[in-house]
Amino acid sequence: MPRLNVNGQMLDFDAEPDTPLLWVLREQLGLTGTKYGCGIAQCGACAVHINGQAVRSCVRPVSSVGPDDRIVTIEGLSKDGSHPVQKAWAQLDVPQCGFCQCGMIMTAAALLKDKPKPSDKDIDDAMTNICRCGTYNRVRAAIKLASGQA
């Protein structure tokens, strides 16, 4: 049976090789924090980390990820919501409906890992996720807060 390293645990799954990673995470492993938004890698609601990089899991075949790859979902970012991005999101009331926010948080966390003090351009380049509620100004403010620049 194939295995994935998800949130620090080796987990078994049973899916066809071309099954998107998103559906394995949600349906096989019960990690429903990763959301389905568009299915074509446009919106970013499905963002997870693979080896520290934000990846849109709705178009990533599970066969492209092996047991040596480290997958982190929103459930694994922190056990208690203490990641700086999560704390900033809560402090600034970033979400409205909240549907896209797990993907936004995962993308922002990957950005801050690579660029601890991002410029506005860095944020614009990295945060390509779509929020139908339009919370982009609060997303930017929360990233700045999490990076200690606010």
Q: How many CB atoms lie within 10 A of CB 99?
A: 17
Give the whole-angstrom CA distance, residue 45 versus residue 102: 7
Mark whether 73 and 90 lie in a shared domain.
Answer: no
Mark whether 25 and 71 lie in a shared domain.
Answer: yes
Domain of residue 10, CATH code: 3.10.20.30
Mark whether 12 and 61 lie in a shared domain.
Answer: yes
Mark whether 97 and 50 lie in a shared domain.
Answer: no
Side by side, the strands of the sheet bearing 53-56 are 9-12, 3-6, 70-72, 47-50, 53-56
Mean pLDDT, 10 residues at a time, over the chain (150 residues)? 96 97 98 96 97 98 97 96 96 93 97 97 97 94 95
CB contact at 8 A, 112 and 147: yes
Per-residue confidence (pLDDT) for residue 1, from 0 to 100:
87
- C-alpha distances (whole Å) from 53 to each of 108, 110, 132 are 11, 6, 24
Domain of residue 137, CATH code: 1.10.150.120
Per-residue confidence (pLDDT) for residue 45, from 0 to 100:
97
Angle at which helices 136-146 and 101-114 cross, to 10°: 40
- For residue 120, the enclosing domain spans 84-146
Mark whether 39 and 67 lie in a shared domain.
Answer: yes
Residue where one domain finishes, among candidates 77, 101, 136:
77
Per-residue confidence (pLDDT) for residue 134, from 0 to 100:
92
CB contact at 8 A, 19 and 112: no
Mark whether 8 and 45 lie in a shared domain.
Answer: yes
- C-alpha distances (whole Å) from 136 to each of 22, 51, 107, 133 are 24, 26, 13, 9
Mark whether 18 and 35 lie in a shared domain.
Answer: yes
Mark whether 92 and 40 lie in a shared domain.
Answer: no
Per-residue confidence (pLDDT) for residue 87, from 0 to 100:
97
Residue where one domain finishes, among candidates 56, 77, 98:
77
Mark whether 53 and 97 lie in a shared domain.
Answer: no
The domain total for the chain is 2
**Tally of CA atoms within 13 A in the half-sphere of 78 that contains its CB:** 11
Mark whether 68 and 99 lie in a shared domain.
Answer: no
Q: What is the bridge-based pairing of β-strands 53-56 and 3-6?
A: unpaired
Instruction: Tell me which residue has tokens 């990673």.
Output: 21
Mark whether 43 and 89 lie in a shared domain.
Answer: no
Residue where one domain finishes, among candidates 77, 97, 122:
77
Give the whole-angstrom CA distance, residue 44 versus residue 56: 6
